[in-house]
Amino acid sequence: MKTFAKVTAALRRKLGVKVVRTDDAACAAASYDSSKLPFFPEAVIFPAEEGDIGVVLTLANKHGVPVTTRGRGTTLTGAAAPVRGGWVIDMMSLNKIEINEDAGMAHVQCGANVAAIQRAAEAKGWFYPPDPSSKEYCTIGGNIACNAGGMHGGKYGVTRDFIVALRGFLPTGEYVEWGTATKKFSAGFNMRDLWIGSEGMLGVVTGAVLKLIPRPAERWTLLTSFPDEAHALKAALALFRSRMQPAICEFLDRESVLCAERATKQSVFEGQAGRPVILLELAGSKLEVQEQSVAVLAWAGAHATAHRVAANREEAEQLWAVRRKCSGAMFELGDAKLNEDIVIPMRSYVKFAQFLKKLKRDSGLHVPTFGHLADGNLHVNIMYHRADKKETRAAEKAVQSLMETVVALGGAISGEHGIGLAKTPFLRIQHPPAQVRAMQAVKAALDPKGILNPGKMFDVFHVWKHAKLDVKFPWDHK
Ligand SMILES: Cc1cc2nc3c(=O)[nH]c(=O)nc-3n(C[C@H](O)[C@H](O)[C@H](O)COP(=O)(O)OP(=O)(O)OC[C@H]3O[C@@H](n4cnc5c(N)ncnc54)[C@H](O)[C@@H]3O)c2cc1C
């Protein structure tokens, strides 16, 4: 790998040794993200102010130094791993949050934590709906770069739907602002939306204006169980057909329920052990929730094997806690996981359930699946043992078959995590050559030297062929 000792020394002279660190501890901590694939950078930049990023990028662009922007490193795809070495910019210190109560907007720096933004908004009677399960850790910059989603996507939308304006730096080091703190902006190309979901490859976002909505006054939670996955998915279709729009509609298949039950030593639904479940939450005004809950109870009576309304907020939180446990609990089924976040159009739910059944049978692997039924974003977890060559090969075949099926059914290979390194083998299943060329042309126009997050998206990388670090993050359940 090419090294850049002289340029790094020049950057340290410009910004100081506290901002530009080259010690092993800083470089090791920035060498991997939640994918646990390690690549050592040469320096880590901890900007003292937003302007430092312009200095870093101007120098990097002049000398061709690879630069990877890093939020909290919770991405599961390897998007924040400095695969070509060079420099990492750690955004965590730029974390100011200001709520404009009158306008219903949040002005944030990109290292701000997402749960902290939600809490700041709620303290003023506003609500910021995007809620990735990693929200207590991840940054809004990472959410913007990946267009993060979460459980609220079906009713409220994803990060993209709440971005009013962005500011930051082009890969050349030039400062730019996309949009203003106004709800309308039609002046010129929509570069803001081009940056959202571009996985840190088209610019470094330093600040954002976020749209807020009034905080819902009332929430109501219902747990339902079904005889099998196909029944659960059919029932969900019936719910959406009746124009119901739950704030959350989470599905857990039988394997996910069993994992959560073993991990928590509690049954997800008393008397319904091992049955697939759907957890629903209604949110809105008191009247709205009352009206909808009547219709939802009638739906549950007609479609579910059993249902139970959470008696209070505490009980509802317990149900959600079990849901959050299921992902980490899956490691009892294998020490390696191909964690996919595919999207399926609602019309294809039942066909997809049939496909999953066949995939499990043909591969001989455990494939616990859960996810957000209101937007079709399902987390399909292909579990295997890394040391077992047969299982590894089966997992590789299973993920290929999954991606081909998802696209054939009119869906997407990623709904919220993005491409990074992990999904690069499948990008061209989703996008034919003309589409890939258009994306590459945009990249070349904004980043002519290809310095920003190189080696991602377009170059093919097979995660299962690379050793992962045996490290534990605070967000790892096990
Ligand atoms: C337990 C767990 C649960 C998760 N649940 C969800 C979920 O429900 N929904 C969901 O969508 N995701 C989820 N994720 C994935 C992850 O949390 C999100 O992708 C999140 O957006 C990453 O934010 P981060 O701050 O950790 O960014 P990082 O992981 O540090 O970086 C992610 C990408 O963003 C880029 N980037 C970061 N900051 C900037 C910036 N300021 N400017 C430009 N580029 C930048 C990086 O270069 C990289 O490409 C989960 C992850 C874990 C570990």
- pLDDT of amino acid 20: 98
Among the listed residues 112, 200, 207, the one whose alpha carbon sits nearest the alpha carbon of residue 168: 207
Pocket test for ligand 1, best of 33, 45, 138, 331 (most atoms within 8 A of CB): 138
In this structure, the residues whose C-beta lies within 6 A of any atom of ligand 1 are 33-34, 68-76, 79-80, 91, 110, 132-134, 138-139, 141-143, 145-146, 148-150, 199-200, 204-205, 416-417, 453, 475
Mean pLDDT on 191-201? 98
Closest Cα to atom 19, ligand 1: which residue?
Answer: 75
Å from CA of 206 to ligand 1 middle: 15
Q: Please indicate, yes or no, if residue 476 is contained in any of the structural domains.
A: no
235 and 312 in a single domain? The answer is yes
Amino acid at 203: G
Do 87 and 130 fall into the same domain? no
| 143 Cα–ligand 1 center, Å | 5
Residue 238 inside a domain? The answer is yes
Q: Identify whether residues 340 and 302 lie together within a single domain.
A: no
CATH of the domain at 73: 3.30.43.10
Instruction: Give pLDDT tens digits for 370-395.
Output: 999 999 999 999 999 999 999 999 99
**pLDDT band, residue 110 (cuts 50/70/90):** very high
36 lies in some domain: yes
User: Percent of the chain, pLDDT > 70?
Assistant: 100
Atom nearest to 139 CA in ligand 1: 25
Is 188 a domain residue? yes
User: In the structure, what pLDDT confidence band is assigned to residue 2 with cuts at 50, 70 and 90?
Assistant: confident
Tell me, what CATH number does 326's domain have? 3.30.70.2190
106 domain-assigned: yes
The closest-lying atom of ligand 1 relative to the alpha carbon of residue 203 is: 43
Q: Do residue 155 and residue 108 come from a single domain?
A: yes
Domain final position from 162, 192, 214: 214
- Pick the last residue of a domain from 273, 297, 330: 330
User: Are 319 and 255 found together in one domain?
Assistant: yes
What is the signed CA dihedral for 327, 328, 334, 337, rounded to 10 degrees?
Answer: 60
Q: Would you state the pLDDT for residue 477?
A: 66
The DSSP code for 463 is G
| Å from CA of 287 to ligand 1 middle | 36
Please enumerate in sequence order all residues whose Cβ is within 8 A of that of 430, keeping only pairs 6 or more positions apart, or say none. 403, 407, 412, 413
Whether residue 87 contacts residue 69, with contact meaning beta carbons closer than 8 Å, is answered with: no
Asked if 153 and 194 sit in the same domain, the reply is yes
Per the structure, the complete domain to which residue 311 belongs is given by 218-330
Point out the domain boundary residue: 285, 315, 330.
330
For residue 163, pLDDT beyond 60 = yes
Q: How far apart are CA 218 and CA 207, in angstroms?
A: 32
Residues 24 and 41 both lie in one domain: yes
Query: Which of 379, 247, 246 minimizes the C-alpha distance to 238?
Result: 246
Q: Which atom of ligand 1 is nearest to the CA of 70?
A: 30
Query: What SS3 class is residue 70?
Result: strand
Nearest residue (by CA) to ligand 1, atom 6, is 132
- Asked if the structure places residue 458 within a domain, the reply is no
* Lowest mean pLDDT, pick from 68-77, 201-210, 242-251: 242-251
- Residue 120 and residue 156 in one domain: yes
- pLDDT, tens digit (0-9, with 9 covering 90-100), for 33-62: 999 999 999 999 999 999 999 999 999 999
Is residue 467 one of the residues assigned to a domain?
A: no
Segment 297-305 shows an average pLDDT of 96
Residue 332 has pLDDT above 80, yes or no: yes
pLDDT at 267: 80
Rounded CA gap, 413 and 343, in Å? 7
User: Are 111 and 33 in a shared domain?
Assistant: no
337 pLDDT more than 70: yes
Supply the CATH number for residue 341's domain: 3.30.70.2740
In a domain, 473, yes or no: no
Q: What is the pLDDT of residue 399?
A: 97
Q: Which atom of ligand 1 is nearest to the CA of 205?
A: 42
What's 201's domain CATH number? 3.30.465.10
Based on the domain organization, do 280 and 264 belong to the same domain?
yes
Cα(89) to ligand 1 centroid in Å equals: 15
Average pLDDT, the chain: 95
Mean pLDDT on 136-144: 98
Structural domain total, the chain: 4
pLDDT above 70 for 162 = yes
For ligand 1, atom 18, name the residue with the nearest CA: 75
pLDDT at 67: 98
Residue 465 has a pLDDT of 86
Question: How many other C-beta atoms can be found within 10 angstroms of the C-beta atom of residue 237?
Answer: 15
Q: pLDDT (tens digit, 9 = 90+) per residue, 261-296?
A: 888 887 878 888 889 999 999 999 999 999 999 999
Exposed / middle / buried, residue 271 (Cβ in 10 Å: 0-12, 13-18, 19+): exposed
Residues 233 and 303 in one domain: yes
Please, which pLDDT band fits residue 127 given cuts at 50, 70 and 90?
very high
Q: For the stretch 27-65, what's the b/e string if a residue is b when 16 or more beta carbons lie within 10 angstroms of its beta carbon?
A: beebbbbbbbbbbebbbbbbbeebebbbbbbbbbbebeb
- Tell which one of 69, 72, 323, 443 to mutate to probe ligand 1, the residue whose CB is within 8 A of the most ligand atoms: 69
Q: Is the backbone of residue 2 left (phi > 0), alpha (psi -120 to 50) or beta?
A: beta
Examine the domain organization and report whether 441 and 338 are in the same domain. Answer: yes
Q: Which residues 6+ apart lie within 8 Å of 131 measured at CB?
A: 114, 118, 150, 151, 152
Q: How confident is the model at residue 329 (pLDDT cuts 50, 70, 90)?
A: confident
Looking at residue 265, what is its pLDDT? 80
Ordered DSSP codes for 214-265:
EPPSEEEEEEEE-SSHHHHHHHHHHHHHTT---SEEEEE-HHHHHHHHHHHT
> Residue 79 pLDDT > 80, yes or no?
yes
Q: Is the pTM of this model over 0.75?
A: yes
pLDDT at 478 over 70: no
How many whole angstroms from its chain centre is CA 365?
25
User: Mean pLDDT across the stretch 153-176?
Assistant: 97
